[in-house]
Amino acid sequence: MIAGQAITCLSPAVHNMICNLGFENDVSHNINSIVSGEHEVCWSTVTNHVHYAESGEGHDVDYIGSVRSLGPLCKAVHLHLLALSKEQFEENYGLFFQWTNNAELFLETFDVLKNLQAAAIALSLMKLTSCLEQALGNVYLLIGKECPFLLRDLLSSMELTTVFGQSVMDVLKVFLGSPKSLNLRNILWHGFASPQEIPSKYCSMLLLLTAGLGQLLKTYLLKMNTTLVHRPCITFTNLKELNVFPDVTRETLSVIEELVEVSNFIIKPMLPFWRTLVAAFKECRYADCVILTLSQLETGLRLVFTRVNKCPSRLFTAESTAFYTTFDKILAKHLSDGELNQLPLTLGEPAMEFLLDFLNYQEGPRVRDHLSHGEININVFPKEVANQILAFSIVLLHRFLGNEHTVLKENAVIRPLINCASCYRSQFHPVARLGIQVLDCVKSIKKWPQLPVPPVEQMRELTGSTGAVAPDAVIPEMSEVLSLLLHHMPPDYYNLEDMGNGFLTDKWLLLLTDLCSMPMRTLYCPRPVLEAAAVLRKITTQCHLVSEQVIASARLRYTQWVDKALRSRQRHNYIRMVKSITFLSPMLRLLLMMVALNRINLYHVCKKTTSECQQYLKYLKSILQYTENLATYTSPEKNKWDETLDLSQRVLIKIKMYDEKKQLC
């Protein structure tokens, strides 16, 4: 299918449901039967227009009949709201939006409705539904313990039925809760509906229903003598790692304005969305920009997906969730029939990694998930995230330009963006996180030489020892294991003899930094690689915990030593800790070296038999057990410093035996 040929991305049945059914009945309704003189929603009037299936088990909503019947009510509500001034609307309903924890959004939505701009109304509906979902989740937690991830499961929950009543929840299902319903949230967030296809009266109706839910909730809270708790918003804590592309400038925005008009990445009915998102970025409305950009990236990628996989029908919505082609299916390695998805080959690994980093990986920002479920405060959305996603979209728009647009293709302004995109490497895949974790642990261990310790003479005087603290104390097996591990280095990477001599100096830091910076394939990682990476990450986490515990304990005990606040037993224990540091520091460095070398050789596990894989994981888990025990012994509660030496000697023997069998990955 060629961009521009598709008038709609809605399948015939879905298009009929949204654009036609609610307009078939011309019956007019008096607004006084829907809203009382005290501005309370007359729920009985609304729920009476929900129809139910005549046959079948259970309480099944007849969505076609319900939409047809509710359509005139929505029109009456829409006309009612349009007749109000901003002051009247806020006075009549403003208080009843407080339960959403974002009353301002609903007041802004009223303003948008008055302006009658289709793209802006669709955007407001997207924000409204995500905020409503988050608010309903908060209500769910008044009774339930773990809020359902999917909106349709939330709307079907007994917890919300208990608060609002079954008939009220059925009304919400007609608008939001099923692929067989209007399904307004999903068709917008997944980029199926164009601005012109969303009747503004449905936005008005959801605005009023949200106020009505607030009225019902107020009654419930008074009856139960309880209060609604709002879950905290999610914030992006890794903005530096998200900084991939240079800033989008005014000059860049001018180029994107040209691109959106001609790129084959865009389906023409969606152009108003693209124009609106560019305007939003200019006006510093970064959440608005990202919301629209993500939905339109999904639309554009779906278009490319259907082209390269020769399945044009999958461009459209369908009547069952099994046939919706969303990001999960677009970015998957295989199609539903088992054939190889051609999209990754078309986009290339860097682009795929960017998409998976920002959208899918659990430790990534998962921008679309958090936004669409109302988990982010859209009023303070970071420019950095908007900049990255918009910059990436520019690259895709450029990628799918026709050959006739030579001047635009060669535009120097967007060349830096294209260069950044072409060399992108995953930051949030588990294998990528493993390298980052190792380097974070290295930073912690580097603090050890600066830890304050009492003068050796004072400790000798206390212990009566002539060799109180040897500054270079090393367990004998350590050098042997290091020598074995270094033979797993990449060819000609370092002079092994020099490296061995420098292990207790900062040379090891340079080596680990280089090893952890080596590019690794992460796209569609085989399961054995992910399993091994998971154990290695746990090992690194425990090493980091040990390091932080040692740092905290050393600083605290030194202060107490100087202040003469330690009892006799505590002073002796402190000296044992100082002695332990002399072998624990190189021991942790050795473990990190082992983790780093295993990381760069992770894919060797794919060449192993099932039995060999199991043995390898068993070996790694034994190292993990050692680090967990080490973390326990070095904790402030235990302070078992002598035992750490025995533990370390045993694990070194284990590593040596395994390596000598040439089973190291």
Q: Concatenate the DSSP letters of all residues of 29-87 into one string.
A: --GGGTB-TTS-B-HHHHHTT-EE-SSSSS--EEHHHHHHHHHHHHHHHHHHHHHS-HH
**Rounded-to-integer distance, Cα 58 and Cα 39, Å:** 34
Residue ranges making up the domain that contains 273: 250-422
- Cβ within 8 Å of residue 263, ≥6 positions away: 3, 397, 398, 400, 401
Domain boundary among the residues 394, 422, 450 is at: 422
pLDDT at 351: 97
Number of domains in the chain: 3
Whether residues 304 and 443 share a domain: the answer is: no
More confident residue, 409 or 506: 409
Buried b (16+ CB within 10 A) or exposed e, 488-525: bbeeeebeeeebeebbbeeebbebbeebbeeebebeeb
Whether residues 152 and 219 share a domain: the answer is: yes
Q: Could you count the other beta carbons within 10 Å of the beta carbon of residue 615?
A: 15
From residue 120, how far is each of 184, 292, 387 by CA, in Å? 15, 10, 21
- Cβ within 8 Å of residue 383, ≥6 positions away: 284, 286
Question: Is 90 exceeded by the pLDDT of residue 456?
Answer: no
Please give the average per-residue pLDDT across 120-149, as a whole number: 96
- Amino acid at position 594, single letter: M
Torsion of CA 353, 357, 360, 364, to 10 degrees: 160
Structural domain contains residue 218: yes
- Cβ within 8 Å of residue 583, ≥6 positions away: 473, 474, 475, 478, 645, 648
Whether residues 447 and 574 share a domain: the answer is: yes
Domain boundary among the residues 371, 402, 422 is at: 422
Whether residues 440 and 408 share a domain: the answer is: no
Please check whether residue 272 is in contact with residue 283, taking contact to mean a CB–CB distance below 8 angstroms. Answer: no
Q: How confident is the model at residue 319 (pLDDT cuts 50, 70, 90)?
A: low
Question: Is 80 exceeded by the pLDDT of residue 499?
Answer: no
Whether residues 397 and 440 share a domain: the answer is: no
Structural domain contains residue 443: yes
Structural domain contains residue 458: yes
Domain boundary among the residues 422, 453, 485 is at: 422
pLDDT at 3: 41
Please give the average per-residue pLDDT across 76-80, as a whole number: 96
Q: How confident is the model at residue 97 (pLDDT cuts 50, 70, 90)?
A: very high
- Amino acid at position 256, single letter: I
pLDDT at 55: 61
Structural domain contains residue 237: no
Whether residues 339 and 406 share a domain: the answer is: yes
Whether residues 372 and 405 share a domain: the answer is: yes
Whether residues 328 and 454 share a domain: the answer is: no
Please check whether residue 133 is in contact with residue 185, taking contact to mean a CB–CB distance below 8 angstroms. Answer: yes
Whether residues 376 and 472 share a domain: the answer is: no
Structural domain contains residue 60: yes
Whether residues 174 and 66 share a domain: the answer is: yes
Whether residues 545 and 575 share a domain: the answer is: yes
Q: How confident is the model at residue 665 (pLDDT cuts 50, 70, 90)?
A: very low
Question: Is 70 exceeded by the pLDDT of residue 459?
Answer: yes
- Segment 577-614, tens digit of pLDDT: 998 888 898 899 999 999 999 999 999 999 889 999 99
Q: How confident is the model at residue 30 (pLDDT cuts 50, 70, 90)?
A: very high
Structural domain contains residue 205: yes
Whether residues 390 and 482 share a domain: the answer is: no
- The tokens for 273 are 């969305």
Q: How confident is the model at residue 2 (pLDDT cuts 50, 70, 90)?
A: very low
Structural domain contains residue 335: yes
Please give the average per-residue pLDDT across 160-179, as a whole number: 95
Structural domain contains residue 5: no
Q: What percent of the chain has a predicted confidence (pLDDT) above 90?
A: 71
Please check whether residue 297 is in contact with residue 260, taking contact to mean a CB–CB distance below 8 angstroms. Answer: no
Provide the mean pLDDT of the chain. Answer: 90
